[in-house]
Amino acid sequence: MDVKRVKDYIYWLYYQYLLVTCSYVLEPWEQSMFHTITVTVVAMVVYTAYVFVPIHVRLALQFFSQMFGAQPEGSV
């Protein structure tokens, strides 16, 4: 893939982000604060999903397997 096309695509995505969030009307210091908060929130959501979703999926699978009559692993 052409490097210039990838670069243009990334600029286009960033421009779309600015348009969707309406942050293009902010002053530079406000934009940096907004971007910092946005990146922080997204990072916390990704970390929380990475840590806690597998635990909840495992517990839900155990619950439903017991509910539908599967034997617990320790009773075999």
Q: Where are the domains of the chain?
A: 3-66
pTM (2 d.p.): 0.65
Question: 16-20, 29-33, 72-76: lowest mean pLDDT where?
Answer: 72-76
Average of per-residue pLDDT across 26-47: 96
What is the predicted pLDDT for the residue at 36?
Answer: 97
What is the predicted pLDDT for the residue at 74?
Answer: 62
Query: Of 4, 35, 33, 32, which Cα lies nearest the Cα of 21?
Result: 35
- Cβ neighbours of residue 38 closer than 8 Å, sequence gap 6 or more: 21
Residue 57, number of CB atoms within 10 A of its CB = 10
pLDDT at 32 over 90: yes
The percent of the chain in helix, strand and coil, each rounded to the nearest 5, is: 85, 0, 15
